[in-house]
Amino acid sequence: MSFFDLINPFSYVTPFHADGDAAEESVVVAADAVEAAAVVIEQIEESNADEEETETEKEEEEEEEEGEEEAEDKAPLIKEGCGETLACKSLKHHYDECAARVEDGSSESCAEEFLHFMECVDHCAASKIFAQLK
């Protein structure tokens, strides 16, 4: 395609569609620029109609997926309950004391206390969580 083909008012070349994908070149030859513009507008409207159809299909698929409800995750509630048990309460107390010291300016890390507390919670909650699985 030459430079003169691009500026010729009697032909219009659209190497790309509205969605930006490369497509086959379509050459519209008309008696005047108004007819060429009308043909191009028709082509754009057709491509937009095709895009709208695919969008509605996607929306319908999403609505079908939303209809399938997933079960509520009970693990956080079970873990919270296990954190309040007698076995884990002392470890939580040690962690809370360490966190208070850190807030007051201590340079220590509470990672060890936190890991011990979470190990206790996980050990308590594991059997209860797996009992809830279907």
Q: CA 79, CA 28: separation in Å to the nearest integer?
A: 69
User: pLDDT tens across 116-130, in order?
Assistant: 999 999 999 999 999
Q: What count of Cα atoms within 13 Å lies in the side-chain half-sphere of residue 120? A: 22
Nearest alpha carbon to residue 30 among 4, 9, 6: 9
Return the exposure string of 66-83: e unless at least 16 CB atoms fall within 10 Å of the residue's CB, then b.
eeeeeeeeeeeebbeebb
- Pick the range with the lowest mean pLDDT from 17-31, 36-50, 99-113: 17-31
> Which stretch of DSSP H or E encloses residue 109?
none
User: pLDDT tens across 29-47, in order?
Assistant: 545 667 777 777 887 777 7
Nearest alpha carbon to residue 107 among 95, 98, 116, 94: 98
Q: What are 22's strand-pairing partners?
A: 16
